[in-house]
Structure 1
């Protein structure tokens, strides 16, 4: 680009041209079910972003909730009500069915790996912390000065 500054007339003639996506990107978006977010033109209309959902999880989806966040199960009628085991079986069945459906649709799904905690290592770390904490207390007490006659260190 030249070292000259653009004049007002030149600046006002600059335009942005939005091109179509390349075919391979359009194909990927179609496979993934991508729906574009609302734009400035249609942001405030009543049908703005019909296809776009920022968080596409259902609010009452029990599969997405942690076990402690799920509603408490109360069994009033043991013959007709679901027990906790029945609920777990149903949720697992629903999970496998959803996974199978996504595989058939060829949607890519990445899940966050479950963190594994090893109690053996945690207890060793806690014991080391306890031992190092006791040594610090003894060392700090030995540095104190004593002004009483009976206690000379």
Structure 2
């Protein structure tokens, strides 16, 4: 439980600090949109997938949405249609990167002693359903911001 809380704090700190830097240097946070959630999901959260896979998946997609929301609200630069398109493009790239890393973790974090096929299928379904819900939320809610 302590590792889970520490990983959450590290991830939120990275997202918030990236957007604070982006407030003063607009292109930084936009370019970090594709890479930063991937670093958090693939690197920082590696141990979380073994503790609670579903919570780690929801946290990963939450980091992606929080980063996009903070960029749209607080990033420096002009917020015209071209800027919003770049933000959407880099968010989509980040979505693809974190979804692919979660799919890899869905198959590799299953221990040998568990029922491998059932656990892998439940992990795969957790990633697919959470990804679809995240994409729907992003297109419906955050796409209009």
With structure 1 as the length reference, what TM-score do the two structures score? 0.29
Larger Rg: 1
Higher relative contact order (CA 8 A, sep 6+): 2
